[in-house]
Amino acid sequence: MAEVYDTENIFAKILRGELPCDKVYEDEHVLAFKDLYPKAPVHVLILPKRPYVSVTDFSQSASDAEIAAWIRAAGNVARELGVAEGGYRVLCNVGRDGHQEVAHLHMHLVGGRDLGGMIRREERQP
């Protein structure tokens, strides 16, 4: 089943200039801005400018240039915001079970402190 893009989602409105954002990076294919509800000292959302719903949609439909720009943006933002050396996390929530809140593909880049492990040791399988 094809994913349907909602042109009225908050990120679409930001991309159209209808809503403001605290921009930290922009190029031809990508916009990155500070998350309104940061979970760490550095918390940036990195999204492609074209209307993709998820990684699944993006990987199937985006151009090689868009895919490269999105990944390169993460490295650029990490360097510019000073978290590249100490470490950071990138995360994409996809779909209902992944708790994706806005149906426009976006990557969270989070850093600036120890983020802890992704899975607690007691939950790891041998």
Residue in 43, 104, 106, 108 annotated catalytic: 106
Q: C-alpha 82: how far from its chain's center?
A: 18
**Catalytic status, residue 99:** no
Tokens 């990684």 -> residue: 55
Taking alpha carbons only, the member of 37, 42, 62, 38 closest to residue 52 is 62
Catalytic residues: 106
